[in-house]
Amino acid sequence: MKKHAISLDEIGYGACRSVDEFEKVKRLGEGTYGVVYEGIDKKSKERVALKKIRVEKEIDPLSLATFREIHTLMKAKHRNIVKLKEMAVGRSIGKIYLVMEFCQQDLGNLMDHMKLPFTEPQIKCLVLQLFEGLKYLHERFIIHRDLKVSNLLLTDEGILKIADFGLTRGFGEPAMKMTPRVVTLWYRPPELLFGDERQTPALDMWAAGCILGELIKHEPLLPGKDEIHQIRLIVNLLGTPNKTIWPDMKELEFELKEQSFNRLRSVFPNLSEECLALLKRLLAYDPKRRISAVECMNHEYFSKPPHACEPSLMPSLKSLTRSSRTRSSTIDLDFEV
Ligand code: ADP
Ligand code: MG
């Protein structure tokens, strides 16, 4: 942990503006690491998102997860990565807010409001942007480790932004050993479920495969209730893994059912051959054989019609509902400073 230490001054804490310089509009969400508010910069009148960082101890105001998020976002500059504009502070030390560009919706929230699934051109537009963002991260040795639809933001212009970097960590050669309990269960790759501690960018690619499946199905692809159920769902969809297709496969303490075939075609009866082929490569058991973000971008799925639509043709909450958005809540509207 020591080697990740960073001083508050290094991240410009001393020069941070007070959160009082932002007007709070509403609460957008809350997850594992903090509460997120929509706000307005009183000076520039710009709309922003403020993520309040949960602080565990006064002495150690920046928890490791917070540090990872700040560090990653500050380094990343890409259209498909949410932009960290600055940090703001509350009145007491350790009350920190990340000030980010504001995105009008996240993909999970948008899908909850859509009666019909995305069209194929819209799916291509979304996943291409996801792969571009992932290519940028993976080239910089950053693994996201918690990709899921609620961590993919979408602007009203249809630009997808990868967000929520609380779990990211750089990777190196040989693959770093990290705790296997990362990545929300439904998007967790087999290597982590089978107890392999080495983590590579391939784990984000598995999550991307689950996301592609979810966009097509309009519901989560592998919604496991616990780790064993998750493994069973994977085996049911993809067949039983073995040492031939996955030489580094670890032994499990329980028996898996024998199934020599995958069920992708019956789960996705209307899918084009190219899309099925891409899905298979994203959901490869062996992380070493799993497709990379760059390979995905060049996959024939994207060169065959129908082509990806323009981002401006993506649906938005605004276009779906004229009434007030249900994701916002009116409680707790005061900044705790
Ligand atoms: P957590 O670690 O708590 O999951 P996230 O960064 O994923 O935190 O934020 C939680 C939710 O807040 C997201 O799912 C999204 O709905 C909303 N949110 C986060 N960042 C932004 C942003 N920049 N613009 C708009 N909404 C955001
Ligand atoms: Mg999140």
220 near 211, Cβ under 8 Å? no
Residue nearest to atom 7 of ligand 1 (CA): 164
From the CA of 311, how far away is ligand 2's center (Å)?
23
Please report which confidence band the pLDDT of residue 322 belongs to, taking 50, 70 and 90 as the band edges: low
User: Any idea which ligand is nearest the CA of 109?
Assistant: 1
- The Cα 137–Cα 139 span in angstroms is 6
- pTM for the model stands at 0.89
Among 37-41, 118-122, 198-202, 237-241, the range scoring the smallest mean pLDDT is: 198-202
Express the helix, strand and coil content of the chain in percent, nearest 5 each: 35, 15, 50
CATH of domain 2-101: 3.30.200.20
Active-site pick, 146, 164, 196, 204: 146
97 near 88, Cβ under 8 Å? yes
Looking at domain 105-317, its CATH architecture is Orthogonal Bundle (1.10)
From the CA of 284, how far away is ligand 2's center (Å)?
25
pLDDT at 179 over 70: no
- Highest mean pLDDT (candidates 179-193, 203-217, 241-255): 203-217
Please report which confidence band the pLDDT of residue 163 belongs to, taking 50, 70 and 90 as the band edges: very high
Q: Which residue is it, tokens 């609380």?
A: 166
The pLDDT tens digits for 89-104 are 887 766 788 899 999 9
pLDDT at 330 over 50: no
Q: Residues whose CB is under 5 A from ligand 2 (ion)?
A: 31, 151, 164
pLDDT at 199: 85
Average pLDDT of the chain, as a whole number: 86
From the CA of 81, how far away is ligand 2's center (Å)?
14
From the CA of 151, how far away is ligand 2's center (Å)?
5
What are the helix (H) ranges across 76-187? Answer: 107-113, 120-139
Please report which confidence band the pLDDT of residue 9 belongs to, taking 50, 70 and 90 as the band edges: low
What percentage of residues in the chain have a pLDDT greater than 90?
A: 66
User: Any idea which ligand is nearest the CA of 105?
Assistant: 1
The pLDDT tens digits for 267-318 are 999 999 999 999 999 999 999 999 999 999 999 999 999 999 999 999 999 9
Ligand 1 contact, 36 CB (< 6 A): yes
Mutating to test ligand 1, I would choose from 51, 72, 105 the residue with most ligand atoms within 8 A of its C-beta, which is 51
What token pair was written down for 167?
Answer: 């779990």
Domain range summary for the chain, segments of one domain joined by +: 2-101, 105-317
Among 196-200, 234-238, 281-285, the range scoring the smallest mean pLDDT is: 196-200
Among 49-58, 286-295, 327-336, the range scoring the smallest mean pLDDT is: 327-336
pLDDT at 43: 96
Please report which confidence band the pLDDT of residue 59 belongs to, taking 50, 70 and 90 as the band edges: very low
What percentage of residues in the chain have a pLDDT greater than 70?
A: 81
- The verdict on whether 146 is a catalytic residue reads yes
pLDDT at 53: 77
Helix 120-139 / helix 202-217 crossing angle, nearest 10 deg: 170
Residue nearest to atom 26 of ligand 1 (CA): 103
pLDDT at 3 over 50: no
Q: Which atom of ligand 1 is nearest to the CA of 164?
A: 6
